[in-house]
Chain A
Amino acid sequence: MMRNKRLFILLIGLILFIAVMGFSLSDRKDLTWPEKFLNDTVGYVQQWFYKPAGYIAGLFEDIRSMRELHEENERLRMTVASYARDKIRYNALEQKNAELQEKLNFTEEQKNRNNYTYMIAQVVSVSPDAYNKTMKINLGSRHGVKENMAVVTEHGLIGLISSVSPFTSNVMPITELDGQSANAKWISATVEGNEEASFGIIESYNIENGQLLMTKIAEEDPLKEGDVVVTSGKGEVFPVGIVIGTVTSEQVGDFGLTRTAFIDPAAQFDKLSEVLVVKVPDAEGDAE
């Protein structure tokens, strides 16, 4: 009798857990308040630990890289000079562009489409799980963060916001992308300098070679090895022109109708301390 009761409780527990897992797998729009409360409290405590640890680790890194400092300085000076040149050109072009938009009667919304806001966020913790590398950042819905916003570093795209609490939110790195999963997320991408002609979808990440898989590339697409892949912003939620990575190889896809390409991600996903959340002006209107 006793054995039976224990088995019964075990089975009920098992069913309960499967139900909870199935529920959490579905596409949830919002977290419940206990989850939000827990996320914010734990996130608040975690930030006291993550940042100092990062500082100390960074200190050792700095000492190691002291020797390369001179070289880097030289290289950066060159880049700054070329930026200054580009800036003059950019100003002139921007002015011209604004003028033309005025003449063509662009609405306010159309004009503001590319005015992204970059919010600086501190990473608060990283998930200790091999299959779930979620990061926590210290910006939440109170700061205007919404689900599916792009998260970038200075090198390129690293992920998207997966869930939001008032003061913290979770970031799903693009290494977690999986086209085969139940509620898969896709990122539409194009090639830098060839935005009109190229198009593909970043679908999943290959853990063995550490590269992203870009699929649904048209046969006549001019994409080739060494091209820099950027977000195309066709989905309206994502900003335009954020670097994803460089193409390392491409081949004909599974059915022979489209091509696929492997992309080496530009950004570093580990040991991050600061990231930027990109706020697209349009997305705010859509969310209402």
Chain B
Amino acid sequence: MRKRWVILIMLLLFIVEGTIMPWLIPIDWIGRIVPQFTFIFVLYAALYAGRHTALLLGISFGLLQDLVFYGHLIGVHSFAMGLCGYLVGLLLAFKRIPMLTVLSIIGMACLLYDSVIYGIYRVFRITQDAYVVALMNHIMPSLFLQLAFALAFYIPVRRWFSGYSQKKQLDDAV
């Protein structure tokens, strides 16, 4: 039940990323601040619903983005989102961690995600920029947007996932 709502919200966020955000970002920062809201939700899913849910959500929403905005490659976001979601879930799922730690984990996962994407594009020669250029150009600026989004959604997300994680914990205990 809860899960269905989460998927619906993620679909909505995916739409917002591509349609409303381009109008909200100041013109000088377009291309430098890149919204990745669905990915934040994948990370929350990894923390509060387990690594397999995160893997599945990451692969499917990443694939959605790859197919809808097919430019160079299919599978980049799918791979990166799935991988990051799974790793975070593997290390930290269902642990009781305070908010600041959660935010710093999300920040690090965002860095990893952007780096993986940069790495794939670099390997396939879509970009020739050095990593430092990419870091200063868009990875760091987008990190702040992602953190702000994660902070804004921290409390509602806890509520949406809470039923799920309690049930899961009970299952684990049994």
| Residues of A near any B CB (own CB < 8 A) | 13, 17, 20-21, 23-25, 31, 35, 38-39, 42-43, 45-46, 49-50, 53-54, 56-57, 124-134, 136, 162-163, 170, 172, 176, 178, 180-182, 207-208, 270-271
Contact = CB atoms under 8 A, between A and B. Distances in A.
Contacts of B120: 21
Interface centre among B18, B32, B75 (most CB of A within 10 A): B18
Given A17-B78, A271-B22, A131 B126 contact: yes
A125 B137 contact: no
A57 B27 CA distance: 12
A207 B75 contact: no
A24 B30 CA distance: 26
Nearest to A131: B121
Contact of B74 (A20, A126, A136, A172): A20
B74 A46 contact: no
Contacts of A130: 31-32, 34, 134, 137-138, 142
Nearest to B20: A53
Interface residues of chain A: helix, strand, loop or mixed (majority): mixed
A155 to B, nearest CB: 15
Q: Give the interface size bracket for B toward A.
A: 35 or more
B5 interface: no
Given A125-B18, A207-B137, A132 B75 contact: no
B7 interface: no
A53 B72 CA distance: 27
Contact of A132 (B24, B71, B78, B137): B71
Secondary structure call for the B interface? helix
Interface in B84-127: 117-118, 120-121, 124-127
Contacts of B79: 17, 21
16 contacts: A20-B74, A21-B74, A23-B74, A42-B15, A50-B18, A53-B23, A125-B19, A130-B31, A131-B121, A131-B127, A136-B68, A180-B125, A181-B72, A182-B124, A182-B125, A271-B23
Contacts of B124: 21, 25, 182
Contacts of B148: none
Contact of A53 (B19, B31, B36): B19
B108 to A, nearest CB: 19
B77 to A, nearest CB: 7
Interface string B11-48: 00001111111111001001110111000000000000
Contacts of A49: 15-16, 19-20
